[in-house]
Structure formats: C-alpha cells, structure tokens
Amino acid sequence: MATLFDKLWDMHRVGDAGDGDDLIAIDRLLLHERTGGVALKSLAAAGHRVRDPARVFSIMDHIVSFRHGRGRDEARSPGGEAFIVETREMAQTAGIHLIDTDNPAQGIVHVVAPELGIALPGLTLVCPDSHTCSLGALGALAWGIGSSDAEHAMATGTLRAAKPRQMLIRVAGRLSPGVSAKDLALYIIARFGSDGGKRCAIEYAGEAISDLSIEGRLTLCNMAVEFAAFTALIAPDAKTLDYVSGRPFSPSGAQVETALAHWQTLRTDEGAEFDEVIEVDAGKVAPQVSWGTSPEDSLALTDALPADASARALAYMGLTAGQSVKGLAIGGAFIGSCTNGRLSDLKAAAEILKGRRVAPGVRAVCVPGSQAVSREAEALGIDRIFKDAGFEWGAPGCAMCFYAGGETFPPETRVMSSTNRNFEGRQGPGVRTHLASPAVVAASAIAGRICAPSDILVEGGVA
Ligand SMILES: CC(C)[C@@](O)(CC(=O)O)C(=O)O
Ligand code: SF4
C-alpha cells in the first residue's frame, strides 16, 4: 500500500544521491525576480546552462510596483528595478519562459502557476520561495527550495532531497457558513503550533477538504510552510480535473486521455500508513484572527488572548494578556497575496463591502493576485465595489504582503491582512499585522475595528 506522496516521490526518484538522499526528477521550475535573477546569473557565471528551458518559468511579482499604469521596470522599493531588469535579461538569455510585468498573465507566482496549468497533478515543481507548497492543492509535489538548489535543478533537471516523513490531516465534517480555508489553516496552526507540521509532507483529506473549492485548497496548502511542513498535498478529484483542463500549459489533444487516466491513480491506497495522523473537526472552526507575531498566535474572534501570551509579542502588538482583540481600532486593511488574492477571495470581501464605506482613518488596499484575477473581478464590477467602499485597487503582485523598503503602513498601525505572515516588521517597521480571511479583513475595514462579518451583517451595521 502506498500514500499519494509515496507514489509521487517514487515516480520521480531517479537515483540514490547518497547519505540517505534521493535524486528526484523535477518536471517544472518556477522563478520570481527576488531570487530568480540571482540564480540564473550564478548558473551562467559557473558556465552552466539551463538543461531544458521549456520547463522553467520566470514571473515578475515580488517587487513590481502595485501602482496602476506602472512602468515595466517600476519597483515598489528603492533599488528594486535592478532585480526586475536583471531577471528579465537573464531569463531572455537563458531562453526560459518569461512572464514579465506587462504580460497579461502576470501575477504572483503561486497564483499564476495554477492559472496557466504550469502546476498540474502528479508533477514535481520547485521554486526558490517557501510558499510553493500552495501547488500541492492540485495534487502536485511542490516545495520551496534555496537559490543554489534552483541552480542545480535548472542545470540537471534533478534535485537531491531526503524523503520526509508523512502526516495525514483528516478534516471531518463541514466548515460552518462564513468560515473559510484561511480560518481552517489558522485554526490548525494555532492548535498544533507553528512547528506542528514537523517538516512532514502533509496530505489533507476528509469531507471538509473535498468540500473546499480549488482556490480554498490553494489557500490551505499555502499556509503549510507556516506549519513547518515540507509540503502539503490534496489528492486530485473531479474539481481538480475540471480546474486544470484546457489551461495554456495543461495537456492537450491526444495527451488529455493519458493525463486523465494517470491523474485518476493519484490517491492514497486504502490502509496506507502515515507517520502521524491529525484529526480535525471542521465544525469547531470559527472565524480566526492572529493576535501576535507568528501565525500560531491566532484565535477565534470571540476568544480572549491566552494568559501565557508571549510578552514580546504583546509588546510589539500593543496588547495586554487576557484582553480581546475583537473591537481593537485598526488603521489599515490589505486584501491580496498568494494566500488570499484569488477571485473567490475578492468575491467574499465584496459581499461585505457592497454599499458600505471603509471607516475614516483606515487605509484599505486590495491588490489582486494576478492580471487574470483583476480582469475577471473588473468584469464582475468587483473593483467598483472595492473602490466605492474606499479601497485602493492595485496592479497585481505581492505588494503589501511584505515590506521590501518603500511604500507601506506607518509604524504601529494595526493592519488586518489576508496574507500568511505576521512576523515583526513583515509589513513594515513597527506595523502590527493581524492575519485573517478576506471576509474578516473587509468587515474590520468597514467597522474601523477588528470584527467578524456577522457583526457587520447585523441589521443597522456594526454591532
Ligand atoms: C519575502 C518573500 C521573498 C517571500 O516570498 C520569501 C519566501 O516565502 O520564501 C515571503 O513571502 O517571505
Ligand atoms: S504574496 Fe507574500 S507570501 Fe506570497 S510569495 Fe509574495 S511575498 Fe511571499
């Protein structure tokens, strides 16, 4: 009996790399401008070339400006242009795919790779970025690597890696209405700790996982690295096959039959063993918000801070033990990122924003995860809802998910954010990031304080 992860690993194991490591064949490799240009430059400097350029995709996302009408080289941080220009030049020289700032398919790498069918069930994909685990939502074996590993993978089409232990997280039951994949992710990390994934390859399964949309699964798997997982994966099902079909880099013509037949085999055998199993009851998950400086510092909006909350985290966040975070005044709201910057995320927020205004004193910014998301949202008038509510509507990219120098919120601003990291300084020096779902971010932006969507949807506005 074999798990899905066993099958994907063994299918790609092309040799014994010694010292307990395997040599794994890499099907596709993703780069972004923060780390990609450096890796390509180092590869060229060592006199190597990209073994199969058709398998390598370079995407501009991390430091591109989010100003509409931005120039092709325009960065959101001082000196960022150099990364953009260098990555472009190195990608063109190497002959790899380049999805440049002004490409209609541009966006955050972990949003674009599924959109373009670059990420597919059964493939191995690596990227010098820790959130590559997102792509496991499609039944791919995808993990984040370092720049030197990226060089090795580009030069040889392989990577040495030690096969990780395996964990099953079975989520039984159903998420309550208004409770999202982001809430489930924060709940799991808070309950089992940011080291809870123990560097395992985690398979998510169970009724609540099958219920999730593909975009919800991408959100859940995106947060696996915040749970110290090697990666996460979800067995492909009918939703997956429907999602991946017909995309630019998906199988086409005669290949489709073969691909579909192969994809149907990608599941864990009955009785296959995992090293660890975690059982979660989806019905217990409520809308979450982080209070501290790690994603594990999260709780239900209705709960008070733990008595043993870290003094450092409390000090940084301007909180005191035992208080509730619900009702705290905020100064900023950000909706976007590879965690929650997809169309369903913007729709969830728009449902709350429609006909309402962002509270005075709150700077609210929405940056769609990709040009495709932005176009689809604009075709549905979702951008109008955001703008009428008082949100800035940005040009796609990572934007205010992380501070790269340049524009951000002022120090000590309390920001509700649909992103995945709330470390000290993540969104800027002294900025206090509270992680939450797009719906909770939107509700809080309207109220001007941390609150749940249900508070906003109560008759007569904020409870
Ligand atoms: C900061 C940025 C380059 C990064 O994408 C890096 C990473 O995740 O590897 C992040 O979200 O922390
Ligand atoms: S959106 Fe944020 S978390 Fe995702 S890749 Fe970009 S910087 Fe990293």
Q: Which of 30, 38, 130 to mutate to test the pocket of ligand 1 (most atoms within 8 A of CB)?
A: 130
Q: Distance from the CA of 342 to the center of ligand 2, in angstroms? A: 13
For the chain, the domains span 24-162, 289-458
C-beta neighbour count of 265 within 10 angstroms: 12
Report which ligand 2 atom has the smallest distance to the Cα of 109. Answer: 5
Q: Distance from the CA of 269 to the center of ligand 1, in angstroms? A: 34
Report which ligand 2 atom has the smallest distance to the Cα of 369. Answer: 1
pLDDT for position 457: 76
Q: DSSP readout, 362-388?
A: -EEEEE-SBHHHHHHHHHTTHHHHHHH
Ligand nearest to the CA of 339: 2
pLDDT of 239 above 60: yes
- Kind of pairing, strands 21-25 and 13-18? antiparallel
Q: Distance from the CA of 258 to the center of ligand 2, in angstroms? A: 34
Q: Which of 38, 225, 402, 418 to mutate to test the pocket of ligand 1 (most atoms within 8 A of CB)?
A: 402
Note the pLDDT tens digit of each residue in 200-237: 999 999 999 999 999 999 999 999 999 999 999 999 99
Chain mean pLDDT for the chain? 97
Query: In terms of CATH architecture, what is 289-458?
Result: 2-Layer Sandwich (3.30)
Average pLDDT over residues 333-346: 98
pLDDT of 461 above 70: no
CATH of domain 24-162: 3.30.499.10
pLDDT for position 430: 98
Share of the chain above pLDDT 70, in %: 99
Average pLDDT over residues 249-255: 95
Task: Name the band, by pLDDT with cuts 50, 70 and 90, for residue 463.
Answer: very low
Average pLDDT over residues 161-183: 98
Task: Name the band, by pLDDT with cuts 50, 70 and 90, for residue 460.
Answer: low
pLDDT of 322 above 60: yes
Note the pLDDT tens digit of each residue in 151-167: 999 999 999 999 999 99
Task: Please list every protein residue whose CB sits less than 6 Å from any atom of ligand 1.
Answer: 34, 62, 129-131, 144, 402
Share of the chain above pLDDT 90, in %: 97
H-helix or E-strand spanning residue 231: strand 231-233
Q: DSSP readout, 233-244?
A: E----HHHHHHH
Query: Does the global pTM surpass 0.95?
Result: yes
Distance CA 213, CA 35 (A): 31
Distance CA 100, CA 80 (A): 15
Distance CA 40, CA 153 (A): 11
pLDDT for position 458: 66
Task: Name the band, by pLDDT with cuts 50, 70 and 90, for residue 172.
Answer: very high
Note the pLDDT tens digit of each residue in 423-434: 999 999 999 999
